[in-house]
A and B are shown apart, each in its own frame.
Chain A
């Protein structure tokens, strides 16, 4: 009989374990130590998605009104998703300006209007070689962008090496992006 009793206790024990897990997961989500949105990019190690975008009209204007990712092949490339409506994007502008001396940056304006993007660049500086307009965010989906700003480092063959979600800071440039870039150079 005691063995029988024990087997009737099993569902409760199993539930207790599951509930404990749920509580811990919820607690860490609430306390901010865990962010369900921050998944590693599945793109790392894979070629970046094909991206052809409407080009934002800029000072060094040529007549071609679309811009393709493949144009930048042959050199390492930083792809930066940003938007004029996003505050952290303003915060990362100086850092991007700094790193633009070491690497070409392709900016993708995510869910933004061209006028606003142009104004944003005028106000906070334009570190980008070219800016493509991802007006409906479809390219963002293809890249797996969770939110702006998000930055990807591509090697000379267009393969994604690194992904950083959130604003770029001096520390991230020094500790993450530059080392990865040096690895690519060697």
Chain B
């Protein structure tokens, strides 16, 4: 009964979101206020209906209702509760419903908030949101109904793919979707702007928190996915340039470009058409990501639920969602064109360089991901594009980006020169040189790549440090805390996020330079030497888990002096319900580096295959990502505080310029 109720709620939500996508657009065109007010009312109702629908599905999983096809196929009564719940989105139908849920929650949040926004703009944005939700609800209802019942009820479920039974993966998809779907807000803003052909600075000001929020979630989602691959797949790597990873990286790169270009629109009213295009591109790329993962067009370690027939539906959504806005862009875009009123060596110039590099990087990833597919269709040849291509193309672009990242923030708008520029540059050069010298002192024979990477770490961290010092150093007129209080929050957010890049780079460089690996076949009693530790393999134990059986190797880690500092127990698990084996790497993460052990095949006679790694600094990779996300959050909440103080009347009907001046006055010339 509850499942039918959930199904009914989803159908209701679908019909409501059709109303949400049509009526407000008419209302906005005819300046009919009641019709425009349908938008927030419908958006909130849709949100409630989808929450009910999703809860009904979660309830089915919690209570192990095997009369539901989805539950029977993807859950099992012996599964721990957390994986029963996460099983809801561990499959195509459920994850689609989660996608819809997040989509409508974003819409609902905009409907509840955004009081300062002109009512027509808000109505249009919500209408576009409604269209996106309606298409995905149609996708769910017509091709992948999560509430399908079975005529014969099985005694127990088939279980969740064991590789997905993992805490990291329980929160990875929701995070990633929060990011992907968050970009739909940027998309709705862009399309709404294209309908009227008007983009102003307030538009960018309202847009930016959504972009930053989506970007934070995407950063966390990608980092969680990479962390999961690192400890679950047991290869010791953290990024594989796999099509599905690339699919999440592309929207991230585009969103990064977008959140920077939106700054230029907000502060200077320039780059309008470009920003609109970026917003469309960012969301399109996240739809492309969905398309790849769901259609099974490209083979990947991550595609668990692929079916070409679903690909058709996503492709149709993609055609409409990208084709129509781009057609609008071709029509309205020239109206948004502004002539540049700044020199190249200015803040705008640096941000444009940032955008260019990020777009080139996106194109590189796009090409590397789809080139094999295109080539195959043209010539029939099958190739795979791997890390060598990306190392040779993506990394240099990112290196250039890091160069600019150090200088851009200390440049002034329009003309470029600030008093901070020279000292920050000097610090950056000195920092880079010290880092390079430090590397050279380690050992000769490191290539140019690590030298550049470390130089950039020094360059960027020194410049951030210098900038912080110059802006916050106590002077006669103001002490540290007074200066900190006066500083816009987004500047602090930027420092934190940029510093996150430094931390991330340290992790990546540390791992690639000083990583040590040992693959051995060992019998109990063997001692394996790795890095500066001696590892004793003391034996194998049987382990009984809640829904699996496992053998676990006992590995005693001793330092050079012979002191035992850790016991690692990598496991091989056999999940009885699913008839699958997984390897559970044992990891001892520390700030200095991770000890990583994987148990392979073997038996008592021939010995067990063991793979041991020591990975210096690798956890800094995810630490860096966390810093970036925190930086983003600081920027959002710093901005919210300012926006809340603006009580701009709802006057957006007449002209967008009237409220813009009011708002920018109350903004008090910030920036």
Q: Which residues of A contact B (CB under 8 A)?
A: 1, 4-5, 8-9, 11-12, 15-16, 18-19, 21-26, 28-30, 34, 36-40, 52, 54, 65-66, 136-139
Question: Across the interface, do A12 and B329 meet the contact criterion of CB distance under 8 Å?
Answer: yes
The complex places the Cα of A4 from the Cα of B333 at a distance, in Å, of: 9
The complex places the Cα of A8 from the Cα of B336 at a distance, in Å, of: 11
The complex places the Cα of A36 from the Cα of B603 at a distance, in Å, of: 36
Chain A neighbourhood of B315, CB < 8 A: 19, 22-23, 26
- Encoded as 1 (CB less than 8 Å from any A CB) or 0, chain B from 326 to 337 comes to 110110011001
B297 lies within 8 A of chain A by Cβ: yes
Interface residues of B, CB < 8 Å — how many?
A: 42
The complex places the Cα of A26 from the Cα of B295 at a distance, in Å, of: 8
The complex places the Cα of A32 from the Cα of B599 at a distance, in Å, of: 39
Known: A15-B326, A21-B377, A39-B382. A8 touches B296 (CB 8 A): no
Which 5 residue pairs are nearest across A and B when measured between Cβ atoms?
A8-B333, A12-B326, A136-B581, A9-B330, A29-B308
Question: Across the interface, do B605 and A66 meet the contact criterion of CB distance under 8 Å?
Answer: yes
Question: Across the interface, do A29 and B296 meet the contact criterion of CB distance under 8 Å?
Answer: yes
The complex places the Cα of A34 from the Cα of B296 at a distance, in Å, of: 12
Chain B neighbourhood of A21, CB < 8 A: 370, 373-374, 377
The complex places the Cα of A186 from the Cα of B183 at a distance, in Å, of: 63
Chain B neighbourhood of A19, CB < 8 A: 315, 318-319, 322-323
| Residue from B299, B311, B382, B600 in contact with A26 in the complex, judged by beta carbons closer than 8 Å | B311
Chain B CB count within 10 A is highest, among A1, A37, A138, for A138
Query: Which residue of B has the minimal Cβ distance to A8?
Result: B333
Q: Which residues of B contact A (CB under 8 A)?
A: 273, 277, 280-281, 284, 291, 295-299, 308-309, 311-312, 315, 318-319, 322-323, 326-327, 329-330, 333-334, 337, 370, 373-374, 376-377, 382, 384, 572, 574, 581, 600-601, 603, 605-606
Known: A22-B315, A23-B315, A25-B377. A138 touches B600 (CB 8 A): yes
Chain A neighbourhood of B382, CB < 8 A: 38-40
Question: Across the interface, do A54 and B603 meet the contact criterion of CB distance under 8 Å?
Answer: yes
- Kindly provide the distance from the CB of A92 to the nearest chain B CB, expressed in whole angstroms: 24
Question: Across the interface, do A26 and B308 meet the contact criterion of CB distance under 8 Å?
Answer: yes
Question: Across the interface, do A12 and B327 meet the contact criterion of CB distance under 8 Å?
Answer: yes
Question: Across the interface, do A30 and B605 meet the contact criterion of CB distance under 8 Å?
Answer: no
Question: Across the interface, do B373 and A15 meet the contact criterion of CB distance under 8 Å?
Answer: no
Question: Across the interface, do A4 and B581 meet the contact criterion of CB distance under 8 Å?
Answer: no
Known: A11-B277, A11-B326. A1 touches B605 (CB 8 A): no
Mind listing 25 A-B residue pairs with CB under 8 Å?
A1-B334, A5-B334, A8-B329, A9-B330, A11-B281, A11-B329, A15-B323, A19-B315, A21-B374, A22-B318, A24-B377, A25-B373, A26-B295, A29-B311, A30-B309, A34-B376, A36-B297, A36-B298, A37-B299, A38-B382, A39-B299, A54-B603, A136-B581, A136-B601, A138-B601
